[in-house]
Amino acid sequence: MDIVEVGAIVIICLFVGMWLKRAKRINNDSIPHILGGIGGILGIIAMYIMPDYPADDVITAFATGILSGLGSVGVHQALKPMYKPRSHQDESEG
């Protein structure tokens, strides 16, 4: 499986999810479902426009896209401590 094509969907969904979170109009619990759907749609589109996409049929492309969209939620959680503002207490400790 070529990671670059799938990684593109993860990054796009990551930014969409961050935008949805900042908009504060959608419940945070709904964001993973939305990103999974967006990822699925992007997976189908990618199958047709990317020659090396790791899917040959619509079902596999959709499933790969869903997993990529949901993977963006995990990437967000992994990166969250890096861009979370530090409290004043943390600064005084060290």
Query: pLDDT tens, 46-85?
Result: 999 988 888 889 999 999 999 999 999 888 878 777 776 7
What residues have CB less than 8 Å from 42, skipping those under 6 apart? 9, 12, 13, 65, 68, 69
Domain layout of the chain by residue ranges: 3-93
Displacement of CA 23 from its chain's centroid (Å): 16
pLDDT of 1 above 50:
no
What is the reported pLDDT for 93? 53
**12 near 42, Cβ under 8 Å?**
yes
The set of residues, in sequence order, having a beta carbon less than 8 Å from that of 71 and lying 6+ positions away, is: 10, 13
- List the structure tokens of 60: 């596999």
Q: Look up the pTM and report it.
A: 0.77
Reading the block at residue 58, the tokens are: 């619509």
pLDDT digits (tens, 9 = 90+) for 5-27: 778 899 999 899 989 888 888 88
